[in-house]
Amino acid sequence: MNDSLSRDLIYSLAGHLVVVVFIFFSAVLIPSQPIDLRQAIRVDVVGLPDKLPEQKLAPPKPEPESMKAPPKVEEAKAPKVSTKKADLSKSQQAALNQIKSMKALEKIKSQLNKEKEKNDNASTVVKGNQVNAGNSLTGLEKIEYDRYFDDLNVRIREHWNIPQWLADANLRAQVQVLIDERGYVVKKVFRRSSGNTVFDNSVLAAIDNSSPLPAPPARLRGLLATSGVIFNFPE
């Protein structure tokens, strides 16, 4: 009886020893992934925003073009007249050369202008059995056109004033606007009225007051003069 008890105790102790040795070696040789407690901490103390400055109401109407001061034109400086006695024939020759070079420059400039006009006209007038260059909106052109339409949008929005009492009425209008090559609005037609006279009038006033709009890029002139742009007020 005593023998069997002591044998069982030895087996039990040996078994426990094996388990302890296994745990020890597994902890040393196969380290487990450490638990990163920092991941469980969430910092959520964030400052509240400051009050925005008072919303500005409609800006005053921009000064009409005619009222604005004309752009400052630098006056041509008169050639300095030397009082010093000099060789007159030399100075005369120099003056003649200068006049000649100025004339040549003027000639080049006028030639360049003529070519530019010719190219511009070619892009807008498409008649007869000719292939239209089209209005592909890719690459640099796309960037140019996007910039132009952004300019249009900014210009119209700047001039669009709606009364406060209509601000949250959820009214919408759609207007087709034809634009000539200088940017002037030549026609505006409601494709969809808001049903409110004051709102519709504010939309028309925004278009009228924005004209002339920025002059369209050469290759858009035809399209803007015939199909125009459709403005969604507000979206």
Partner 1 sequence: MSIRSIFLLSVLLIYTGLVSAQSESHIYIDVGQGNVKKSLLALPPLLYAGTQPTNKSHIQIGQDLFRVIYNDLSVSNFFTFVKPEAYLEDPAKVGLRPAPGTPNGFKFENWKTIGTEFLVRAAYSVLGNDVSVEAFVYHVPTTKQVLGKTYKGPTGAVRRIAHTFSNDLVQALTGKRGMFLTKLVASGLPPGGHKEIYIMDWDGANRQKITSMKHIAISPAWSTKGDKIAYTGFPLHKKEKVRNADLFIYDIKTGKRFLVSYHKGINSGAAFLPGDQFIMLTLTKSGNPDLYKMTADGKSLQRITNGPNRAMNVEPAISPDGTKVAFSSDRAGQPHIYVMNIDGSNVKRLTFAGKYNSSPSWSPDGKTLAFAGFDKNHFDIFTINIDGTNLKRLTDATKPNGKPADNESPTWSPDGRHIMFSSNRSGRHQIYVVSPDGTNERRITHDNISWEKPKWSPFLD
Q: In the complex, which residues of this chain contact partner 1 (CB under 8 A)? A: 44-52, 54-55, 57-59, 149, 152-153, 156-158, 160-167, 169, 176, 197-198, 201-202, 206, 223-224, 227-235
Cα–Cα distance for residue pair 50/22, rounded to 1 Å = 62
Nearer to partner 1, 25 or 184 (CB): 184
Compute the least distance from the CB of residue 147 to partner 1, in Å: 13
Nearer to partner 1, 19 or 40 (CB): 40
Q: Are 222 and 173 in contact (CB under 8 A)?
A: no
Compute the least distance from the CB of residue 138 to partner 1, in Å: 16
Cα–Cα distance for residue pair 130/113, rounded to 1 Å = 25
The total of other beta-carbon atoms located within 10 Å of residue 229's CB is 18
Compute the least distance from the CB of residue 97 to partner 1, in Å: 53
- Which of 144, 154, 109 has its CA nearest to residue 218? 144
Nearer to partner 1, 125 or 169 (CB): 169
Nearer to partner 1, 75 or 235 (CB): 235
Complete DSSP assignment for 201-216: HHHHHHHHHHPSPPPP
Nearer to partner 1, 26 or 232 (CB): 232
Compute the least distance from the CB of residue 129 to partner 1, in Å: 21
Cα–Cα distance for residue pair 211/173, rounded to 1 Å = 19
Omega within 30 of 0 (cis) for the link into 212: yes
Compute the least distance from the CB of residue 117 to partner 1, in Å: 26
